[in-house]
Structure formats: C-alpha cells, structure tokens
Amino acid sequence: MSLSTRVSIVALACAFASTSAANAADSSLSNPNISAVLDGYYQTGDRPMSVREEGFGLGETELAISANIDDMFYGKFTAIIESHDGETEFELEEAFIQTLALPGGLSVRAGRFLSDIGYLNNQHPHTDAFSDRPAVYRAFLGNHYFDDGIRLSYVAPTDVYWTMGAEAFSGDKMRAADEHGEREFDKVGVYSAFTKIGGDIGQESSWQVGLTYLRNENGKTLVEEHDDHDDHVDMLADDHDHGHSHNAAFTGQNTYVADFVFKWAPSGNYKYQHLTLSGEYFRVTDILGEAHDDHEHDHDEVVAHEDHGNAFDAYHEGWYLSTAYQFSPSWSAGLRYGQVDVNEIHGDHVHGQQLKETELSLAWHSSHFSTVRLQYTNQQGTNFDGFEDDNIITLQYVMTLGAHGAHQF
C-alpha cells in the first residue's frame, strides 16, 4: 500500500549505509550523556547528620557526564555543588572508568565511585522517595559512601541473578576521630566484599537480597589515656550536626549489612502503579580500641570501675524499612521508619544514644524528570546531641535535565 517493497529495499540499503551515522547519535565521546540535577528545598527544622538545614536551601546540585570511551572502557564524571552557610562547595562524587569487555562476567571499576555495599548506596540520592537518606546512611556512611579505590565484580551465568564483588578504598571519609591528629592511618583503609541475589516472582514481582562485609582498618577510635575520663575524644559526630561533612559520623572496624528490596507492579507494568519495599540493617562493631597494644591488661581494670558496660564490646547498629507506592504516573507516596542505636565515645567509655525517625512523603511528578515532594518527619532522639522529639516538614523539588542515564533496580 503506502510502502512498496521496492521502497523498503532502498530503505534497507540506506539503513545499512547509515548504520555508523545512527550509532553516532548514541552516547559516545563526540556525544556524551550530559545531565544535571537540580534540588532545592524549604524545611522547618534540622535532622541530625543531614546536609539539609532549616529554612531555604539547595541540596546536591549535580552535573554528570558519561560515555563509552571506546569499546573497552566506560567513563563517568559527576560533580556535586553544595551551598552551606553562604559558601559554595564543589565536590567530585564520581570520576571513574569501568571495563566493558572483560570475559567471564567480570568487570573492574576504578577511580572515585559509589561503593556497591547495601541497597541504597549505589543509587543516586535524587531517585530516593525521601529528601534525606535514612539515619543509618547518615550515621555510618556519611550519607552515601563514595571514595577513591577499585572494585572487581562478577556476575554468575545463572538464571537467578547472582553477583559478587570486592572493593578497596582509601577510606579517608571513614576514618575514626583522631583527637590529636597524630594517628598513623592506613592509606588503604576500607575493604568490602558483597553479594547480591535476585529474581522475579511471576510477571509482577521482583526481589533482591544482599549481604555486605566492610572492613575499616581506620574505623576503631583509639583510647590513649585511660584515666583521663573527661578528655572526650573529639568525635566527628560532635561537630557533624551543624556541619555538612560527608564523613561517617560513627565508625568501627567491622561493618555488616543485610539488605533487601521487593518491587511489584500490576502485570509487571510500571507505567501507572508500582510498589517498592526495601530495608537494610547495619551493625558496626569494634568501635573502640587501644592505642598501645601492650596495655591490653588495662581494659579489664578500666571497665571494672566504669558502670557503662564493656566499652570494648560496644557496637553501633541501625536499620530502616521503607515503602514507596506510585499510585498514578503523577503521584507517589512513601512511608519510612528507621532508627540508629549508636555509642558516643568519651575517653575509654561510651554513652549510648538513639535516634528514631518516622517519615511520610507525598510527591507529584509532572513527568519522569520532575518531582515536587512534601515530607513529614517525626524524629525522636535520646541523648542525640540535643536532638529530641521534633516534627519537621520539608518541601522539596528534584529535577533532572539532559540525557539522564538509566536507573538501577
């Protein structure tokens, strides 16, 4: 009818002839993906360890460039511009290369990148259903953990998704507080090993579970003088509430993470409605150590006079459970509960403190690229740097422009 076979043969010839031209329209060195994220908010209070402050503010304004460098390497660059107390700060969040052509399901990523530990950490915050990361992320990962290092990943050739990976990082952001600035930190401080397993349940549901072990050689806070009880170790947490450092507020030598995510959509069609249920549990152990190993026997004495339990066995822990439901292409809502139980280190003993957060968010999406969110947070702090019961309302927009990369599960 309207298209004769002859025309289609010509079409075919043209298509073959123009294959290279068609490829040029994909992201490549001459035409990389360039995108920006704009994030602004107004909020009625402060959340502990958060980068967002009371009043009007900007979140992370992000500029990203990515492309296949050649057939062997992919590269991405993400710069973050933050504004705090009238100062504009520039930070490189990602600057990495990744191999594209290693055999056997292997890949290597090197440079600065988001660690693949836990569920949320390797996701960009602008895709979250809430304005802030859960308290566990703020406490143990400095919001989200990116660092300079290297990762080796492997995907098994199985029908059930199974990936394993190991990372090594400089670990600067994960260093324990250093009272006198004299501590000799390991230059390669953080190692992680993780695995994720996932699949589908019928046409409608998908799941993934993950386990992570993170070793932080510089994570123990060292006690130097046993009898100097009032000489508080200058914990990062102490100045973190008002600052905006991306360092972890609470550290330890060993971190264990268990995470899961479950997604559902009617008929597996994500166009109109879908549900995401996710949760993670973190446990950070070996938070306190001796500066001098030859004083080993002193532990027992110290603990014996103190009534704070065995400080050397103390650990931090935290978890969250989050659900987000998109009930129409334009509207979504989220409900999240999270808490952290951490120990503030005072010399050679620890003080327990707790933060609980219950959050409700409602978001309007004019398209996939723009979100306006209203969020209510009820926070309950116990000995948490002066944070007590409080209610916070946040009104936020998050918008992406440009050729934005595909999202992860």
Partner 1 sequence: MRINSKLKAIATVAVMAFSASANAQLNVFACEPEYAALTKELAPDAKIYSATTAMQDPHQVQARPSLIAKMRQADLVVCAGADLEIGWLPMLQMKASNANVRSTDKGLFYAAEHTITLDQLTQVDRSMGDVHAKGNPHLHFDPYRIIDIANGLTAKLSQLDADNRLQYEAALADFTSRWKAAIPKWEQQAQGLAGKKVIAYHSSFRYLFHWLGMEQVADLEPKPGLAPTSSHLASLLKRAEQGDIMAVLITSYHSDRGAKWLGERSDLPVMRLPMSIGGNDASTDLFSLYDSVISMLLEVK
User: With respect to partner 1, which residue has the nearer C-beta, 221 or 276?
Assistant: 276
Cβ 256 to partner 1, closest distance in Å?
22
> Shortest approach of partner 1 to residue 179 CB, angstroms?
43
Cβ 39 vs Cβ 397: under 8 Å: yes
Q: Cβ of residue 398: shortest distance to partner 1, in angstroms?
A: 15
Q: Measured from the CB atom, is 15 or 92 closer to partner 1?
A: 15
Nearer to partner 1, 49 or 265 (CB): 265
Shortest distance, CB of residue 117 to partner 1, whole angstroms?
16
Element (H, E) at 380: strand 370-382
Answer yes or no: are the C-beta atoms of 291 and 303 closer than 8 Å: no
CB of 129 to partner 1, least distance (A): 15
Nearest-angstrom CA–CA distance, 156 and 152: 13
Residues 322, 325, 327: CA angle, nearest 5 degrees? 170
- Angstrom CA distances, 377 to 117, 198, 236, 345, 390, stand at 26, 31, 24, 28, 8
Report the nearest approach of partner 1 to the CB of residue 66 (Å): 10
Q: Are the C-beta atoms of residues 41 and 59 closer than 8 Å to each other?
A: yes
Could you tell me if 59 and 80 are in contact, meaning their C-beta atoms sit under 8 angstroms apart?
no
Smallest distance from the beta carbon of 76 to partner 1, in angstroms?
A: 10
Cβ proximity to partner 1: between 56 and 327 the closer is 327
Q: Which residues here bind partner 1, judged by CB under 8 A?
A: 1-5, 7-8, 11-12, 14-16, 19, 22-23, 25, 71, 74, 98, 100-103, 105-107, 153-163, 196-200, 203, 206-208, 263, 267-272, 328-330, 367-369, 401, 405-409
Q: With respect to partner 1, which residue has the nearer C-beta, 367 or 391? A: 367
CB of 161 to partner 1, least distance (A): 3
Q: Which is nearer to partner 1, 56 or 270 (CB)?
A: 270
Nearer to partner 1, 56 or 331 (CB): 331
Are the C-beta atoms of 131 and 359 separated by less than 8 Å?
no
Residue 17 has a CB neighbour count (10 Å cut-off) of: 9
Element (H, E) at 393: strand 390-402
Instruction: Choose between 199 and 309: whose C-beta lies nearer to partner 1.
Output: 199
Tell me, what amino acid is at 34? I
Q: Which residue, 52, 99, 75, is CA-closest to 397?
A: 52
| Phi, then psi, of 80 in degrees rounded to 5 | -115, 130
Beta strands in 133-273 (DSSP E): 146-155, 161-169, 190-201, 205-216, 221-223, 254-264
